[in-house]
Amino acid sequence: MSVISADPPHKIIGVAVIWNEDQQILIDRRLPEGVMGGLWEFPGGKLEPGETIEECIQREIKEELGIEIEVGKHLITIDHTYTHLRVTLTVHHCRLITGIPQALECDAICWVNLDELENFTFPAANSEIIAALKQG
């Protein structure tokens, strides 16, 4: 007899809130295909076995955007369950060190001011990140 779990899969995600010298934040738009396609997000990705969350964030940003960042202070950790997936988002403030961001694994990228974030459509879990940023 097999037991079928109703729990969705769980992913631990390192998320970067990348700031530039003009106090703007880098966001990217997910590729149109797939779940949550076309929505905007803060860049990052899945934690791999054996790496720290800081290493995860640096690796993912290099792979997705082609830039080097410094991972700074922890902002917030969010547990969110979608119908298809449970995520734990570990979010850090980051600073651009070198390179020009490129849309290597996403549809588009955009530097925005904090008060412009509400003009973009994000996945539900990201609303808590935006709220934490606005609280300062």
Number of H helices, E strands in the chain: 2, 7
Dist CA 110 CA 26 (whole Å): 6
pLDDT for the residue numbered 83: 84
Q: What is the pLDDT along the chain (136 residues), one digit of tens a residue?
A: 555 556 788 999 999 999 999 999 999 999 999 888 999 999 999 999 999 999 999 999 999 999 999 999 999 999 999 888 899 999 999 999 999 999 999 999 999 999 999 999 999 889 999 999 999 7
pTM for this prediction: 0.91
**Amino acid identity for residue 121 in this structure:** T
